[in-house]
Structure 1
Amino acid sequence: MSAFLISPRYNTTYNPTYFIPTMANLTSPLLEQHVIDATLKWVDDIVIEHNFCPFARYVRTPSGIRCVVIGGDVGDVIQSLYDEVRHLEENEDTATTLIALTHTTLGDFDEYLDVLAIADNMLHDWGYSGTYQLASFHPDYIFDGSEASDAENFTNRSPYPLLHLIREADITRYMKKEEDAEKIFSHNIEKAQSLGCPYFEKVLKEIKKDKPAE
C-alpha cells in the first residue's frame, strides 16, 4: 500500500474502555509548531521524495494538507477526529488532514493501535464509512507479518504518531490515474529495502533534531 493514502495491514478491534475523554491539551505552542514542521518535512523528504504515495505531491499545497496536533489522550483524539471530519465537510480546498498525537502513552505502538481501532469505529458510528478512511503512521510502525528491523516498516514510520484522514472519493479518483494499491505497496517495499534502515533512521533523526524541551 501507499505510505500516505492506503490502509495498513492490521485488523484492530474496538475496546470501549479506552474511550475516556479528558479535554486536556498537553502540548506547548513550541512543541506544537515543531510537530507540524517535522510532520510536513517528513511528507516532503520521505513520502514525496521517494514516491511512497504517488498522490501526495498533488495535495502538497498551502491549503491542501491540514496538520493539527493533539496532546491529550484518547478522548481528545476522538473529539479532534470529529472536528476534522467536520472541517473537511465544510472546506473543499483542504484535501486531507494529518492528526499528530503527542500524548506519551501513544508513543507505544500497541496503545496507538487501540486508539486507531476506536477512531475507525467512531467514523462508522458517525455515518462516515465510505466517505472517509484513516491511514496510520507511527515511529515504531510494524506491518503485520514483518519484523521490527525490516526496512519496509519505514514507509509508515513517521516522526510522531499520526492519524491520516482521507476522503474516499479522492482515493478513487487518484487510483484511476495511478497504479493499483498492490503495485504501489510492492514499489514501496522494494524502495525501502534498497534504501535500508540506516538511511531512514538518519533522515528521521534530522527531521526531529530541533524538538523543543517539553
Structure 2
Amino acid sequence: MSINLEQVEHQTREWLEKVVIGLNLCPFAAKPNRNKQIRIAVTEADNEEQLLEFILQEFMHLQSTDVEELETTLVTIPNFLDDFMDYNLFLDWVDALIKQQDYEGEFQIATFHPDYCFAGTHPDDDENLTNRSPYPVIHLIREASMERVLKHYPDPEAIPDNNIERVSNLTDEQKRALFPYL
C-alpha cells in the first residue's frame, strides 16, 4: 500500500495543533510547536523489525540534535499497528529498546492511537479521546525537558482529569470536527 507521507504528516500536525494544543491537552506542546521544535517522523514500516529500527534511528536523531533545535518527536505509523491490542503489545518492544540502548532516564514515550482505550473504560467513553490520534503515534520525549517544564507547572497531577473534563464538555459537532478520522 502506497501512502502519501506529506498527507500523513499534515494530518498529524493538524491533530497536534487542533486537538493536543487547541484543547490544551498537553500544556507543554504549544511553545515547542511555535518554535518548530516538534518533529513528525512518518514511517513506512509495516512490521515490527522495521518499526523498531525506525524508532531507534529517531531516538538517535533526537539524542544527537540540540534541544534548542529539536525538543521532541512524534513517530507516526500509518501502515502498521492499526489494531490497538497489537499496538499495545508493540509498546513492550519499545520499552525493551529503551532499556537495551540505555535510554532509561533520558527518554520516555507517550502513546496515541485512533482506537485508544484506557484500561477499565468502554471504547466509546469520552476520556479515550485524550489519546486518540489519526494514526498510531509513539511520542518520543526527552525526560530532562519534561522535568524542566513540570518544575514550573502548578499541579501537573491534575492534567489527566482536566483533559477528561475538557473532552467530555465537547459537543457532538465539536467531536466530529476535531476527530474526523474516528
Structure 2: segments with no counterpart, 5+ residues: none
Q: Which amino acid aligns with 2:59?
A: V
Instruction: Measure, in 2, the Cα distance between the counterparts of 1:198 and 1:146.
Output: 23
User: In structure 2, the residue corresponding to 1:136 is in which secondary structure?
Assistant: strand
Q: 1:94 aligns with which of 70, 79, 101?
A: 70
Task: Normalising by structure 1, report the TM-score.
Answer: 0.78
SS of residue matched to 1:120: helix
- Match for residue 76 of structure 1? 50
The alignment yields a C-alpha RMSD, in angstroms, of: 1.6
Answer yes or no: is 1:162 the counterpart of 2:150: no
Query: Do structure 1's residue 59 and structure 2's residue 35 form an aligned pair?
Result: no
Q: Distance in 1 between matches of 2:133 and 2:75?
A: 12
Residues 67, 130 of structure 1: alpha-carbon distance in 2 compared, 3 angstrom cutoff: same
Which residues of 2 match residues 25-64 of structure 1 at below 5 A? 27-28=2-3, 31-61=4-34, 63-64=36-37
After the TM superposition, which segments of 4 or more aligned residues of structure 1 sit over 3 Å from their partners? none
Letter in 2 for 1:118: W
In percent, how many aligned pairs have the same letter? 34
Q: For 1:140 and 1:132, how far apart are their aligned partners in 2?
A: 25
Structure 1 alignment gaps of length 5 or more:
1-25, 209-214
Task: State the aligned residue count.
Answer: 178
Higher RCO (C-alpha under 8 Å, 6+ residues apart): 1
State the TM-score, normalized to the length of structure 2: 0.92
Matched, 1:135 2:102: no
- Give the secondary structure class of the aligned counterpart of 1:63: coil
Separation in structure 1 between the aligned mates of residue 141 and residue 2 of structure 2, nearest angstrom? 24
Give the match for residue 194 of structure 1: 169
- Quickly say closer, same or farther: Cα 1:95–1:74, change in 2 above 3 A: same
Deviation at 1:197, TM superposition (A): 5.6
Amino acid at match of 1:57: A
Instruction: Tell whether the 8 Å contact from 1:65 to 1:98 is kept in structure 2 after alignment.
Output: yes
SS at match of 1:107: coil
Instruction: Give the SS at the match of 1:66.
Output: strand
